[in-house]
A and B are shown apart, each in its own frame.
Chain A
């Protein structure tokens, strides 16, 4: 009887309709590696974003590095308007600027600084803005809007366990202000939009462990890893940002080839929001030599390509990512977006 009730509950909850933020907004952080390598950033020991995607890599490096990055999508001219919307400063001009094109738009911005030491690391992001709108019905546009502004603090700690095993743990605390709303265009214009967009607040604490096996006696530097991301406790539940812990399992190799280093890996990810069997698999690769690092990844729902140019003092990069996502009305939409990075490093 109890089993039947549980089964019934699962069926009804599975059939329930939920308005959920796009995955790129709801998960992890924003950075060049996460866009160019996708989920494969968990499998490589690459110094690009302030801290490694997989906290088990925190104990890999032998010297400390301080890094500050500005990462942004190429549609950032609306950042001020999105920020005004989230901070209840929106007026008629804000609405006009944000919805004037009646076309799908998206951008993200992340400002972050971090220190990556020998066995620990910390990073702070005082500003991460995500914004996305989709439109339907050319006669009277109906808009699906996601906007969020986050402030976060991340700490990683790791150690070598012996027998080529590394373990790491990331604690991530964030405060999120967000709007997730579906409405008609005229709803936003009526009454000058005042009081229509009321942001919600959420505080979340994530606990994200990682494990890495990296035997040293091979020229190909093979690695196998496991990690758990987005496992957290929120101050209040929200259908826009549900708790979706994501489990990663993967392997990678990296070898000196020619003038540089080539890396290749496969990541298999699972969370309770995945719909197909193939989508969890991501293949990623990089080649770095001199000042240049080339990055790429592919999976069924996204693919990305990017480069990073680094002089050791500062670095800059560009990544292009194509993603298929839910437009808020159950329809799948594919978009290609461009992301840029400016960073300084000591």
Chain B
């Protein structure tokens, strides 16, 4: 059981390290880009405050829970929750301050005296570069998850304990499935 537990934690770390592909903004010109950014800003404000509030609640709840809990597994969950909570407060604050990944580009363009055609051109170029970047990240994620899956299979083949072997095979299958999901 401990082995399975450690493996799941490893999977969580791995997934976190690789990161999730962020939601792509759909825009082809400056007007549609501006409209989408205004909608996104409204969402970001709501998301920012909800992350700060929930993060604070989770941090405090985690501290109280960890000190009042008797068993080690619950303490671990409460302990991890505290980390989540603090990270959520930071993320929420960043959301309120800086918005999303497109804000920097949007704020830069908005403050200039460029013509509409020039802004359209810049938006088109920027979105093309963003797509290329996402495509590269997607390929890296596919390769990385597939490599982890191969490593898990190799470890499973050398593992004498039946339960640990099953868990390693499960992790391998999960990583291959993750790799496959990035191909869609």
Residues of A within 8 A of B (CB): 64, 66, 68, 70, 72, 74, 76-77, 79-80, 83, 87, 109, 111, 113, 115, 124, 126-127, 259-260, 289-292, 307, 309, 311-314, 316-318, 338, 340, 342-346
Contact = CB atoms under 8 A, between A and B. Distances in A.
A232 to B, nearest CB: 24
Contacts of B80: 316
Interface in B42-72: 46-47, 49-55, 57-58, 61, 65, 71
Interface residues of B, number: 49
Interface of B: 1, 4-5, 8-9, 11-12, 15-16, 19-20, 46-47, 49-55, 57-58, 61, 65, 71, 73-74, 77-78, 80-81, 84-85, 87-88, 92, 162-163, 166-167, 169-170, 173-174, 177-178, 181-182, 184
A242 B115 CA distance: 74
B166 A318 contact: no
B170 to A, nearest CB: 5
A104 B96 CA distance: 51
A89 to B, nearest CB: 9
A290 B181 contact: no
Given A307-B58, A314-B16, A318-B65, 15 more contacts: A68-B8, A72-B5, A113-B174, A126-B166, A259-B49, A259-B50, A259-B53, A260-B50, A291-B51, A309-B85, A311-B88, A314-B15, A318-B74, A340-B77, A344-B8
A64 B57 CA distance: 30
3 closest residue pairs by CB, A with B: A290-B54, A290-B50, A292-B54
Given A68-B11, A340-B73, A291 B84 contact: yes
Nearest to A111: B170
A338 B12 CA distance: 22
A259 B11 contact: no
**Central interface residue in B78, B81, B166, by most chain A CB within 10 Å:** B81
Contacts of A72: 1, 5, 73
Contacts of A126: 166, 169-170
Nearest to B76: A340
B88 A342 contact: no
A151 to B, nearest CB: 9
Contact of A289 (B4, B9, B50): B50
B52 A290 contact: yes
A313 B19 contact: yes
Nearest to B72: A74
25 contacts: A64-B181, A64-B184, A68-B174, A72-B5, A74-B71, A80-B1, A80-B163, A109-B1, A111-B8, A113-B174, A127-B4, A127-B167, A260-B50, A289-B53, A290-B47, A290-B50, A309-B58, A313-B12, A314-B12, A318-B65, A318-B77, A340-B77, A342-B12, A342-B77, A346-B181
Contacts of A70: 4-5, 8
Contacts of B4: 70, 109, 111, 127
B20 A289 contact: no
A113 B173 CA distance: 9
Contact of B51 (A111, A127, A290): A290
**Central interface residue in B11, B61, B74, B77, by most chain A CB within 10 Å:** B77
Contacts of A313: 12, 15-16, 19-20
B178 A66 contact: yes
A113 B88 contact: no
**Central interface residue in B5, B47, B71, B174, by most chain A CB within 10 Å:** B174
A337 to B, nearest CB: 11
A338 B88 contact: no
Contacts of B5: 70, 72, 342
B177 A115 contact: yes
A286 to B, nearest CB: 13
Nearest to B48: A290
Contacts of A64: 181, 184
Nearest to B65: A318
Given A111-B4, A290-B92, A291-B55, A344 B15 contact: yes
